[in-house]
Amino acid sequence: MSYAVAQYRSSQVHTASPARVIVQFYDGALKFIRLAVQALEAKDFAAKGVHLSRAHAIVSELRLNLDSEKAPELTAQLDQLYLFVLSCISAANNQADAKLLAPATNILMQLRSAWAQVADEGAGSGVRVIGAP
């Protein structure tokens, strides 16, 4: 990756709203799951492991940044969803089965969609995301 591209991507994260950063986390997790599925189809098990490890790290980071003091019910529900997604990723990695990633992908896509809506609505309205990483 060129220096200019790296600088551009870095500025996207540093200037994005908290909700937009969360959307970027979901985009990353979904990208790495998609790459893992492609690696599994190609029987490239080393690449599968790398991609699922990255997806796992992103979802773990989302989970670690939950702030239960500000929204206990919501964070409890998100925590359970993230735990389920992490278990799907681990199972797919251990069993080398792309089908096990479908539920995780579905959940992440739905969460991404919800956060994208929050980010879009909050872009000009002064909406503040409470407890966002």
Number of domains in the chain: 1
What's the Cα-to-Cα distance from 48 to each of 4, 25, 26, 36, 58, rounded to whole Å? Answer: 29, 19, 18, 4, 16
CATH number at residue 50: 1.20.120.340
Report pLDDT digits (tens) over 74-123. Answer: 999 999 999 999 999 999 999 999 999 999 999 999 999 999 999 998 66
Quote the tokens at residue 47: 């690449």
Tokens for 9, please give them: 């991507």
Query: Residue range 28-33: average pLDDT?
Result: 98
Please indicate, yes or no, if residue 6 is contained in any of the structural domains: no
Domain range for residue 91?
A: 17-122
Residue 70 or residue 79, greater confidence: 79
Asked whether residue 43 is domain-assigned, the answer is: yes
